[in-house]
Amino acid sequence: MKFRSYKALIPALIAVVCAGVVLAVVLAQGGNASADGEASGIADDRYPALRFERLPQEMRAEFVRQAGATLCPCRGIVASLDQCLQSAEQSCPIAIDAGAIMLEQVMLGTDDLEITAMIQRYVIAARASHSFDFANTAGRGTETPDVVVVEFADFQCPHCRRVAESLTDIVDEHGSRVRVYFKHFPLSSHRNSIEAALAAAAANRQGKFWEMHDLIFTNQDRIRNTQDPLDLFQGWARDIGLDLEQFATDFNDPALYRSVREDKQEGVDAGVSGTPTLFVNGVRMLESPSHEAIVGRITTLLADIDAGSAQPWRQGAGSNE
């Protein structure tokens, strides 16, 4: 058996020791924060970017303890997640999402190790940048955007309806700098979801995707409870001025069905497993984000672009950090 020279191991040993020192410092600081919190109570506004007021006081010390024992995922920041989330200057979107995951799981009583594993999986996924095919994909907003949002959604998903309203607000306010694209991701667990996707895709062929999009989301319950959703879709197609014969032909076109399936496969390839899932400049957000999270992510990114600390959108590039 051959042994490596001990000299070859020196760099690796130094790296391990340094990492251990950094982690020990961070853990010690996090531990102090937890002790302080238990002694005096922990304020609702400890973490400005989190809805910390949702966490009962008796659970807050546990959150602070775990956040203090977790390294901040923002690149270039040597601090605990607890410290990172308290500082607007240090915190990055990945850290905020990691904090949101931890908040939910502490409320559910999830084991420490499982919370750590969930955050690690999210951080790995969030650091990846994705490109998408926008040919024949419905979009709204400027044709020359600084920020591109790609939404994977199911027309029968209640959370998708809420996020759609948030994205409409974004386009209304920042439409000169933002473009939103819709990708179909129908879920088999939702009745008539594929039919709804086909109706919207058929309307898109006549340039009326967003009109049909809004009607479908507004009437989710009616679609879910009907035996023949095509009757509803044809009525709405008439209302928005579509050629009904062409709409019916497109609705039953196998190529249209394939395009919906291709949208979904794009999402699967990018790690999408549920709806709604958003990608902002190619970088994935936490699944089913709140209105505040969406608005915050986009307005912060626009401000960073203006300040020169972030790059405007280009296909194949993006960063959360």
Alpha carbon distance 273, 114 (integer Å) = 19
Cα separation of the two ends of the chain: 45
Tokens 């020192």 correspond to 21
Q: What is the per-residue pLDDT for 13? A: 39
Q: Who wins on pLDDT, 138 or 11?
A: 138
What is the per-residue pLDDT across 175-206, written as a single tens digit (0 to 9) for each? 999 999 999 999 999 999 999 999 999 999 99
pLDDT value of residue 309: 86
pLDDT (tens digit per residue) in 95-130: 989 999 999 999 999 999 999 999 998 898 888 889
pLDDT, position 259: 97
CATH number listed for the domain at residues 139-307:
3.40.30.10
Could you give the 3-state DSSP secondary structure of residue 310? coil
Higher pLDDT, 62 or 25: 62
The pLDDT confidence band at residue 73, using thresholds 50, 70 and 90, is very high
Query: Residue 317: which H helix or E strand, with range?
Result: none
pLDDT level of residue 316 (50, 70, 90 thresholds): low
pLDDT in tens, 216-231: 999 999 999 999 999 9
The domain limits of the chain are 12-126, 139-307
What's the rounded mean pLDDT across residues 239-253? Answer: 98
Question: Given CA atoms 163, 165, 170, 175 in this order, what sign does their dihedral have?
Answer: positive
What is the pLDDT at residue 317? 52
